[in-house]
Structure 1
Amino acid sequence: MAPSATIPGYQILDTLGRGGMASVHRALQESLGREVALKLLLPALAADAAATERFLREGRIAARLAHRHIVGIHDVGVHEGQPYLAMEFIAGGPVSVSAPHAPRDALEIVRQVALALAHAHREGVIHRDIKPDNILRRSDGSCALADFGIARAAHADTALTGEGLAIGTPHYMSPEQVQGLPLDGRSDLYSLGIVLYQLLTGRLPYAGSGDVAVGVQHVHAPLPMLPEALAGVQPLLDHLLAKDPAKRLRDAALLARRVEALQAGWRQGASPTTPVAAENPAEGATVAPPPRTPPPAAAVETRATARGTRPRRAWIGLGLLVAIAAGTWWLATDRGPRVTAAADASAEPVSIAVLPLVNASGDAAQQYFADGLSENLIVALSQFEGLRVISRNSAFRFRDTETDSRAIGAALGVAHLLEGSVQRAGDTVRVTATLVRSADGTTLWSQRYDRPYQDLFALQDDITAAVAAALKGKLLARVANAPHDDRPPGGNLDAYAAYLEGRFHADRRTAADQRRAIDALARATHIDPAYAQAWATLSRAWTGLIALELEGDAARDAYAEARTAVETALALAPGLASAHAARGYLLANADYDWRGAETEYRLAVELAPGDDYARHGLGRALASQGRVREALDLTRGILADDPLHATQHYWLSVYLGALGDLDEAAAAARRAIELQPEGATFHSQLTLVEVGRGDAGAALEAARGTPAGVWKDVALAFAHVAGRDRAAADEAIATLEAKHAQFAAYQVAEVHALRGDADRSLEWLERALANRDPGITLLLFDPALLRLRDDPRFVAFCAKVGLPPPRDSEARALRGLRP
Structure 2
Amino acid sequence: MADIREDLQRALGTSYTIERELGGGGMSIVFVATDNTLGRQVVIKVLPYDLAASVSVDRFKREIMLSAALQHPHIVPVLSAGQAEQLPYFIMPYVEGESVRTRMARGPLSVRETVSILKDVARALAYAHGRGVIHRDIKPDNILLSGGAAMVTDFGVAKAISASRERVTLGGRSTNSGGWNSGTITSVGTSLGTPMYMAPEQAAADPNTDHRADLYALGVVGYEMLVGAPPFYGRTPQALLAAQLTEAPKPISSRRYDVPPALADLLMRMMEKDPAKRPRTANEVARLLDDPSVMSGEFTSLRPAVATSRSWKRRASFIGVVGVLLAAGLAAGTYFRTREAPAIAAVGAARAATTSQKSIAVLPLVNFGGDTSDVYFAEGMSAQITTALSKLRGLRVAARTAASSARDKYNTPEEIGKALNVTMLLEGTVQRTSGRLRVTARLINIGDGATLWSDMFERQATDLFKVQDEISNAIVAAVSPELGTSVALAGSSAARGTDDLQAYDLYLRGRFFFQKRGEDALRSALAFFEQAAARDPAFAKAYTGIADVYAVLPLYSNVRVDSVLPIGLRSIDKAIALDSTVPEAYASRANLLALGWRWSEAERDYQRALVLDPNYATAHQWFGELLLLNGRVDEAVAQLRRATELDPLSPVAFGSYGLALGIAKRDAQAQAAVRHALDLDSTLLVTRMMSGGVQLYANHVPEAVHQLEAARQLDSGKALVLGVLGYAYAKAGRTAEGRAIARQLEESAGKRNSAAGAAARVYLGLADTARALTMLERAAAQHDVSFSTEGLAEPFFDPIRHSPRFAAVVARLGLDKRLLQ
Q: 1:178 to 1:536 in 2, by over 3 A?
A: closer
Which of 665, 682, 686 in structure 1 is aligned with 2:687? Answer: 682
Once residues 359 and 662 of structure 2 are traced to their aligned partners in structure 1, the CA distance between those partners, rounded to angstroms, is: 32
Check conservation: 1:377, 1:460, Cα contact below 8 A. Answer: no
2:449 matched to which residue of 1?
441
Check conservation: 1:509, 1:679, Cα contact below 8 A. Answer: no
Check conservation: 2:402, 2:648, Cα contact below 8 A. Answer: yes
1:726 deviation in Å?
1.5
1:624 matches 2:634: no
Partner SS state of residue 746, structure 2 = helix
Superposed counterparts of 1:429-508, under 5 Å: 429-453=437-461, 454-467=463-476, 469-472=478-481, 475-476=484-485, 478=487, 485-489=494-498, 491-506=499-514
1:799 deviation in Å?
1.7
Unaligned runs of 5+ in 2: 1-301, 304-315, 317-335
1:411 deviation in Å?
0.9
Superposed counterparts of 1:370-769, under 5 Å: 370-400=378-408, 403-425=411-433, 427-453=435-461, 454-467=463-476, 469-472=478-481, 475-476=484-485, 478=487, 485-489=494-498, 491-506=499-514, 514-546=522-554, 548-553=555-560, 555-590=561-596, 592-706=597-711, 707-708=714-715, 709-710=717-718, 711-739=720-748, 742-744=752-754, 745-769=756-780
* Aligned positions, number: 482
1:790 matched to which residue of 2?
802
Partner SS state of residue 431, structure 1 = strand
Once residues 438 and 557 of structure 1 are traced to their aligned partners in structure 2, the CA distance between those partners, rounded to angstroms, is: 50
**Could you tell me which amino acid in structure 1 is paired with residue 658 of structure 2?**
S
1:124 matched to which residue of 2?
none
Once residues 474 and 351 of structure 2 are traced to their aligned partners in structure 1, the CA distance between those partners, rounded to angstroms, is: 30
**Could you tell me which amino acid in structure 2 is paired with residue 781 of structure 1?**
A
RMSD (CA atoms): 3.4
Q: 1:766 to 1:461 in 2, by over 3 A?
A: farther
Check conservation: 1:355, 1:399, Cα contact below 8 A. Answer: yes
Q: 1:654 to 1:608 in 2, by over 3 A?
A: same
2:226 matched to which residue of 1?
none
| Structure 1 residues 551-572: Cα deviation after superposition (integer angstroms, max 9, x where no partner) | 354x433223212211221332
Which of 183, 189, 210 in structure 1 is aligned with 2:342? Answer: 183
Check conservation: 2:724, 2:762, Cα contact below 8 A. Answer: no
Check conservation: 1:358, 1:421, Cα contact below 8 A. Answer: yes
Once residues 755 and 601 of structure 1 are traced to their aligned partners in structure 2, the CA distance between those partners, rounded to angstroms, is: 38
1:804 matched to which residue of 2?
816
Q: 1:457 to 1:642 in 2, by over 3 A?
A: farther
TM-score (norm 2): 0.54
Partner SS state of residue 648, structure 1 = helix
Once residues 413 and 726 of structure 1 are traced to their aligned partners in structure 2, the CA distance between those partners, rounded to angstroms, is: 47
2:215 matched to which residue of 1?
none
1:773 matched to which residue of 2?
784
Once residues 689 and 522 of structure 2 are traced to their aligned partners in structure 1, the CA distance between those partners, rounded to angstroms, is: 19
Check conservation: 2:640, 2:653, Cα contact below 8 A. Answer: yes
1:816 matched to which residue of 2?
none
Q: 1:789 to 1:354 in 2, by over 3 A?
A: same
Q: 1:182 to 1:464 in 2, by over 3 A?
A: farther
| Structure 1 residues 692-731: Cα deviation after superposition (integer angstroms, max 9, x where no partner) | 2222221122122221231543443233122122112222
Check conservation: 2:630, 2:819, Cα contact below 8 A. Answer: no
**Could you tell me which amino acid in structure 2 is paired with residue 645 of structure 1?**
S
Check conservation: 1:594, 1:624, Cα contact below 8 A. Answer: no
Once residues 513 and 344 of structure 2 are traced to their aligned partners in structure 1, the CA distance between those partners, rounded to angstroms, is: 40
1:794 deviation in Å?
0.6
Structure 1 range deviating more: 765-774 or 382-391: 765-774
1:655 deviation in Å?
1.5
TM-score (norm 1): 0.54
Check conservation: 1:487, 1:496, Cα contact below 8 A. Answer: yes
Partner SS state of residue 478, structure 1 = coil
Once residues 185 and 398 of structure 1 are traced to their aligned partners in structure 2, the CA distance between those partners, rounded to angstroms, is: 20
1:105 matched to which residue of 2?
none
Check conservation: 2:351, 2:421, Cα contact below 8 A. Answer: no
Check conservation: 1:405, 1:440, Cα contact below 8 A. Answer: no
Q: 1:408 to 1:219 in 2, by over 3 A?
A: closer
Once residues 515 and 675 of structure 1 are traced to their aligned partners in structure 2, the CA distance between those partners, rounded to angstroms, is: 28
Partner SS state of residue 436, structure 1 = strand
| Structure 1 residues 65-95: Cα deviation after superposition (integer angstroms, max 9, x where no partner) | xxxxxxxxxxxxxxxxxxxxxxxxxxxxxxx
Once residues 181 and 527 of structure 1 are traced to their aligned partners in structure 2, the CA distance between those partners, rounded to angstroms, is: 53
Q: 1:776 to 1:807 in 2, by over 3 A?
A: closer
Once residues 716 and 426 of structure 1 are traced to their aligned partners in structure 2, the CA distance between those partners, rounded to angstroms, is: 59
Q: 1:475 to 1:493 in 2, by over 3 A?
A: same
**Could you tell me which amino acid in structure 2 is paired with residue 776 of structure 1?**
F
Partner SS state of residue 451, structure 1 = strand
Check conservation: 1:415, 1:438, Cα contact below 8 A. Answer: yes
1:28 matched to which residue of 2?
none
Q: 1:185 to 1:422 in 2, by over 3 A?
A: closer
Check conservation: 1:552, 1:771, Cα contact below 8 A. Answer: no
Check conservation: 1:537, 1:578, Cα contact below 8 A. Answer: no
| Structure 1 residues 84-110: Cα deviation after superposition (integer angstroms, max 9, x where no partner) | xxxxxxxxxxxxxxxxxxxxxxxxxxx
Which structure's relative contact order is higher, taking Cα pairs within 8 Å and 6+ residues apart? Answer: 2
Check conservation: 2:381, 2:468, Cα contact below 8 A. Answer: no
Superposed counterparts of 1:244-323, under 5 Å: none
Check conservation: 2:430, 2:439, Cα contact below 8 A. Answer: yes
Q: 1:442 to 1:474 in 2, by over 3 A?
A: closer
**Could you tell me which amino acid in structure 2 is paired with residue 686 of structure 1?**
S
Once residues 396 and 506 of structure 1 are traced to their aligned partners in structure 2, the CA distance between those partners, rounded to angstroms, is: 16
**Could you tell me which amino acid in structure 1 is paired with residue 814 of structure 2?**
G
**Could you tell me which amino acid in structure 1 is paired with residue 589 of structure 2?**
R
1:738 deviation in Å?
4.0
1:660 deviation in Å?
2.0
**Could you tell me which amino acid in structure 1 is paired with residue 614 of structure 2?**
P
Once residues 494 and 779 of structure 2 are traced to their aligned partners in structure 1, the CA distance between those partners, rounded to angstroms, is: 37
1:764 deviation in Å?
1.5
Q: 1:613 to 1:411 in 2, by over 3 A?
A: closer
Partner SS state of residue 503, structure 2 = helix
Once residues 664 and 533 of structure 2 are traced to their aligned partners in structure 1, the CA distance between those partners, rounded to angstroms, is: 42
Once residues 426 and 528 of structure 1 are traced to their aligned partners in structure 2, the CA distance between those partners, rounded to angstroms, is: 29
Q: 1:486 to 1:535 in 2, by over 3 A?
A: farther
Once residues 439 and 533 of structure 1 are traced to their aligned partners in structure 2, the CA distance between those partners, rounded to angstroms, is: 38
Check conservation: 2:385, 2:476, Cα contact below 8 A. Answer: no
